[in-house]
Amino acid sequence: MKNKVFLFILVVVSCCLMFRTAMIISTKSLINYVYRIMNNEIPLEEVEGTIYEHFHPIAVYPIDVDKFNCDVNVYKGWIFHDLKKGEINVIYRVRYYDDNEIFGGSNAPSKWLIEKKDGKWEIVEIIEKP
């Protein structure tokens, strides 16, 4: 009897871990896309007028980012979705600096409400508290 209970618990825990891993993997490309925007790898014209403009350095800071060094980190927190809608809690830090000036935000908590559209995860709302 003990072996059956142990086996049942092992199966349940394994299923939970596989589901959690699937949640993380399926949203990784979205997080990488936001990272690339913050790192000025994607031109403003490509995200202008969308919710992703919120993350673009040229839209956020009054600087010529091509003349600045960039340091970006996006830390995933809690991710939950039902394969159609969900949320990602992240903390991000972004700094643009040269010899004299620094612009950016440090450890900014953010909640991204996400939806799957045409097989791709997209941010539909950003919630940040000052």
Structure tokens at 37: 């925007």
Give the separation between CA 91 and CA 19, rounded to whole angstroms: 23
**Number of domains composing the chain:** 1
Q: Global pTM?
A: 0.76
CATH of the domain at 56: 3.10.450
pLDDT level of residue 58 (50, 70, 90 thresholds): confident
Q: What is the dihedral of CA 78, 57, 38, 99, to 10 degrees?
A: -110
CA-wise closest residue to 105 among 52, 41, 42, 60: 60
What domain range includes position 66? 2-127
Structure tokens at 121: 């995860």
Burial class of residue 2, CB neighbours in 10 A (0-12, 13-18, 19+): exposed
With b for 16 or more beta-carbon neighbours within 10 A and e for fewer, the 67-87 pattern comes to ebebebebeeeebebeeeebb
Over the stretch 6-42, which tens digit does the pLDDT of each residue have?
A: 777 777 777 666 666 655 567 888 888 988 988 888 8
